[in-house]
């Protein structure tokens, strides 16, 4: 069973049909929308500030979502995929965004709607990622616009993760 803990009397709130892997951790001031999933070894830690997550978001294996004490909350829109081992910290991620494997998004960055942060990219503090663009590298820079085919991936990935969650027996 996932580790769900209150912090200073504030307990996470989950929307309908939320999947939490057995060793996922969700603590504190976290509000998650409908049909979200938090996968194996992922951590969503709202202990020092708030975390707000929209609908149909998936936080994949080993990812960390956190914030900065009294300075930077984390807000994640709808249809967002945070891939394996990514770190999302004290930032805003708008709708239909893909954060690639091992990417890092730092405090006060804003990731515009329909964007892709490439695997391994490091988005520095205060960076504003233009909607519909792909950022890659260290530090992350715009490399091109998201194609219509790539934009389709946002919806398919979010939908697939809702489906994947149904594969797991809640009793086992």
Peptide bond into 65 cis (omega under 30): no
Residue indicated by tokens 């070894």: 41
Residue indicated by tokens 């004490």: 69
CATH of 3-166, picked from 2.40.70.10, 3.40.630.30, 2.160.10.10, 3.40.50.800, is 2.160.10.10
Q: Kindly state the percentage of the chain with pLDDT values over 70.
A: 99
- Both tokens of residue 45? 């830690």
pLDDT at 171 exceeding the cut of 80: no
pLDDT given for residue 29 in this prediction: 98
pLDDT at 154 exceeding the cut of 80: no
pLDDT in tens, 72-93: 999 999 999 999 999 999 999 9
Average pLDDT over residues 120-144: 98
Average pLDDT over residues 114-120: 97
Please count the other Cβ atoms lying within 10 Å of the Cβ belonging to residue 71: 11
pLDDT given for residue 172 in this prediction: 60
pLDDT given for residue 169 in this prediction: 78
Q: What value does the mean pLDDT of the chain take?
A: 96
């Amino acid at each position: 069973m996932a580790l769900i803990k209150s912090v200073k009397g504030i307990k996470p709130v989950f929307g309908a049909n939320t999947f939490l892997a057995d060793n996922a951790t969700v603590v504190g001031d976290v509000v998650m929308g409908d049909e979200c999933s938090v996968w194996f070894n992922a951590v969503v830690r709202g202990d020092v500030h708030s975390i707000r997550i929209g609908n149909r978001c998936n936080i994949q294996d080993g990812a960390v979502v956190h914030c900065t004490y009294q300075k930077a909350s984390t807000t994640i829109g709808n249809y967002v995929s945070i891939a394996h081992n990514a770190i999302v910290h004290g930032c805003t991620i708008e709708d239909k965004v893909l954060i690639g494997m091992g990417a890092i998004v730092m405090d006060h960055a804003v990731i515009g709607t329909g964007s892709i942060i490439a695997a391994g990219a490091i988005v520095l503090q205060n960076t504003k990622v233009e909607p519909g663009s792909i950022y890659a590298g260290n530090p992350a820079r715009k490399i091109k616009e998201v194609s219509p085919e790539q934009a389709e991936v946002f919806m398919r990935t979010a939908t697939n993760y809702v489906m994947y969650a149904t594969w797991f027996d809640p009793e086992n």
